[in-house]
Amino acid sequence: MGLKNFLKPQAIHAKIGDLLETLEEIIVFILTILLLILSLRALYDIAVDLFVTDISFISLIPKFIYVFILIELFRLMIVYLLERRLDTLLIIKTTLIAILRETIIKAPHLTLHDYIGLSLLLIVLGSMYYIPKYVIKSFYERLGQHKERKSSGDEA
């Protein structure tokens, strides 16, 4: 009797779904731990460069930006673990920081076409960040105020 209940399609799908969800949580947990270790190692490298080796300030800037990227990724993982969703605005912000880091590192070697491509990419990502956060939000706020005025006008 137990085997018949287990072999029902709904039971199998539920068990497989639970197993995959558990595996996903394990993978995300491992990634979070690895990201923490990577962040600590990056901080250690910066400390060694600052205090032990004689390195120029210009060489340290990409390393600091790298740490900020790791922090943003760590925050993204925490949001995912707590809310079970990906924060697209945080992903876009992290991508913008990563692109700016690469631009700072490779600036002397970039051509005009590279700068045009980077500019277009930054415009697209910037608008993807700005439009949902500010334009659409203010549109819905104005729409809600318009509905309130209309409903109070209907009552009068």
Tens digit of pLDDT for each residue in 103-125?
888 888 889 999 999 999 999 98
CA-based nearest residue to 72, from 38, 49, 120, 107? 38
What is d(CA 41, CA 76) in angstroms, rounded to the nearest whole number? 19
Q: How many CA atoms lie within 13 A of 3 on its CB side?
A: 0
End-to-end Cα distance, the chain:
67
| 3-class secondary-structure state, position 85 | coil
Residue 135 — pLDDT band, cuts 50, 70, 90?
confident
Tens digits of residue pLDDT in 23-41: 988 998 899 899 999 999 9
C-beta separation of 101 from 62 below 8 A: yes
